[in-house]
Amino acid sequence: MKRAETADFHVPARLCPSCFEQLDGASKIDSEGAPVPGDVSFCIYCAAMLRFGDDMALVAEDRPESLNDPKLLEMQQQVKTFLEEVKRNGLPLRCYACERTLPEELKKLSPPLEPGMCIVCAFCAAVNLYNTRRQLVELTDEELLNSEEMRAAVALVQESIDKRKAHAH
């Protein structure tokens, strides 16, 4: 992996140089297409203004023309507002398969939702794993997927989906 030089340490590509969170799928904000060196981006974890360096590693934006650009500052404010919202309410839980937002009640479960727990999507019956980043991802553990308990849980959800569909017609 290429690394960007900074004053006293090496920052691997795609780590936010400000908070060191892993940034994947950085999106361009000022034009279409894949990012190119020099493009500005924001860290979705700490709202730091970042720039794609010559080797496409993310570096802290330090060019005055960006730091003083009202358009960019407004975008940064939007990211900050989003982050405050997430802090208050948590990230919306979205099924990895159908991408529908799962009910807010999931966050108020008792015992509470912990990383490592599985959730069967109420819309498509896909088995989601709640990971340590508090996101829902595909459960890829075949053994767990094929366990009797999991099959039963999926069957139960599938049954209620079928019922809902039958009622809709």
Shorter beta-carbon distance to Zn ion: residue 55 or 99: 99
* 3-state SS assignment for residue 152: helix
Distance CA 86, CA 90 (A): 4
- Nearest C-alpha neighbor of 51 from the set 71, 72, 32: 72
Shorter beta-carbon distance to Zn ion: residue 33 or 157: 157
Shorter beta-carbon distance to Zn ion: residue 147 or 158: 158
Shorter beta-carbon distance to Zn ion: residue 18 or 66: 18
Distance CA 128, CA 118 (A): 6
Residue 17 Cβ vs Zn ion, minimum distance, rounded to whole Å: 8
Cis peptide before 12 (omega within 30 of 0): no
Tokens, residue 113? 């939702």
Binding site for Zn ion (CB under 5 A): 16, 18-19, 43, 45-46, 48, 95, 97-98, 121, 123-124, 126
Q: How far is CA 106 from CA 71, 126, 151, in A?
A: 37, 16, 20
Shorter beta-carbon distance to Zn ion: residue 32 or 105: 105
Residue 116 Cβ vs Zn ion, minimum distance, rounded to whole Å: 19
Residue 102 Cβ vs Zn ion, minimum distance, rounded to whole Å: 8
Distance CA 3, CA 37 (A): 14
Residue 156 Cβ vs Zn ion, minimum distance, rounded to whole Å: 15
Residue 48 Cβ vs Zn ion, minimum distance, rounded to whole Å: 5
